[in-house]
């Protein structure tokens, strides 16, 4: 294997400084290219850091959004709605209104002179808002017939014919139609107002209007032969009130597709003599 012979250094003269300059230039060029590469890589990394910076900036924006719940102006004072002065005005108005209500309804029981003077000054406001008691006693109940619970009762299975209509007596079995839903809510309240209106119309000698209100229920159930509305006893009623006859009593008459309610009036005292009543003899009359 042939060996290469080392080259001999040229003996030609080299200008002073040219070789050093060229070596320095090549070295600087490599350093510059390396710096450029590093700069490109750093730019990529910097770009990632920029992206992260954007994310961090987003977090800063998010921080400003979170801070929007309690923003502060330049002077460091918090801003919000409603302003403090409006909250104070509303609080004072509520205190004034509740105090006026207390003075109005507490004046029912022997008001003092100071109480009376304050009430006279608040009278325009109380009457304008319809909260003026005017010293009248306030009752939760008046023990009237309208305050009693009203119930609708129906009778079924009664024998009837064209010649012999439905007979209603003390042995008739009645089924109570209870109100739906929880007492005090909308369904029970509608039932109460419905029965109260029917009872009011029946007592006002308007049985046709009372029958019109009950007709949809009667027409929907063919087994109903008679209806009535009764008042339930309460703690404020007397034995005489509990023994009162039904407010409304009617029998159902069906003729083909037509349905009618025939009102049955309760027996009333009269001054006319009864035809079937036994009359006393002349001897008993003289006694």
What residue segments make up the domains of the chain, in order of their start?
84-128, 145-263
Distance of CA 250 to the CA centre of its chain: 38
Kindly report the pTM of this predicted structure.
0.47
Measured over the CA atoms of residue 47, residue 49, residue 53 and residue 59, the dihedral's sign is positive
Lowest mean pLDDT among 93-107, 148-162, 247-261: 148-162
Residue 92 has pLDDT above 70, yes or no: yes
Residue 43 has pLDDT above 70, yes or no: no
Q: What percent of the chain has pLDDT over 70?
A: 60
Measured over the CA atoms of residue 36, residue 41, residue 47 and residue 50, the dihedral's sign is negative
Angle between helices 113-128 and 84-106 in degrees, nearest 10: 120
Angle between helices 186-203 and 207-220 in degrees, nearest 10: 130
The answer to whether 214 touches 260, Cβ cutoff 8 Å, is: no
Instruction: State pLDDT tens for residues 112-130.
Output: 889 889 989 998 999 888 8
The answer to whether 126 touches 104, Cβ cutoff 8 Å, is: yes
Please provide residue 97's backbone torsions phi and psi, each rounded to the nearest 5 degrees: -65, -45
Higher local confidence (pLDDT), 149 or 65: 149
Residue 44 has pLDDT above 90, yes or no: no
Provide DSSP, 29-82. Answer: HHHHHHHHHHHHHHHHHHHHHHHHHHHHHHHHHHHHHHHTTS-B-TTS-B--SS
Measured over the CA atoms of residue 228, residue 232, residue 237 and residue 239, the dihedral's sign is positive
Lowest mean pLDDT among 162-171, 179-188, 241-250, 273-282: 273-282
């Amino acid at each position: 294997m042939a060996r290469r012979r080392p080259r001999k250094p040229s003996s030609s003269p080299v200008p002073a400084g040219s070789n050093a300059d060229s070596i320095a230039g090549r070295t600087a060029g490599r350093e510059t290219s390396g710096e450029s590469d590093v700069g490109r890589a750093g730019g990529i990394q910097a770009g990632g850091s920029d992206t992260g910076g954007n994310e961090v900036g987003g977090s800063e924006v998010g921080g400003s959004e979170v801070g929007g719940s309690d923003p502060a102006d330049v002077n460091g004072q918090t801003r919000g709605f409603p302003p403090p002065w409006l909250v104070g005005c509303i609080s004072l108005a509520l205190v004034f209104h509740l105090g006026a209500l207390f003075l109005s309804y507490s004046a029912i029981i022997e008001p003092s002179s100071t109480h009376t003077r304050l009430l006279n000054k608040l009278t325009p406001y109380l009457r304008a808002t319809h909260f003026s008691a005017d010293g009248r006693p306030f009752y939760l109940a008046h023990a009237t017939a309208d305050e009693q619970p009203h119930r609708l009762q129906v009778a079924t299975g009664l024998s009837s014919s064209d010649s012999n209509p439905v007979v209603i007596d003390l042995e008739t079995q009645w089924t109570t139609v209870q109100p739906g839903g929880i007492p005090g809510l909308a369904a029970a309240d509608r039932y109460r107002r419905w029965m109260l209106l029917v009872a009011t119309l029946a007592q006002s000698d308007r049985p046709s209007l009372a029958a019109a209100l009950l007709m949809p229920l009667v027409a929907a159930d063919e087994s109903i032969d008679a209806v009535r509305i009764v008042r339930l006893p309460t703690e404020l009623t007397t034995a005489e009130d509990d023994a009162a006859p039904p407010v409304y009593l009617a029998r159902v008459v069906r003729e083909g597709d037509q349905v009618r309610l025939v009102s049955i009036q309760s027996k009333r005292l009269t001054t006319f003599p009864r035809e079937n009543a036994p009359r006393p003899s002349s001897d008993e009359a003289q006694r």
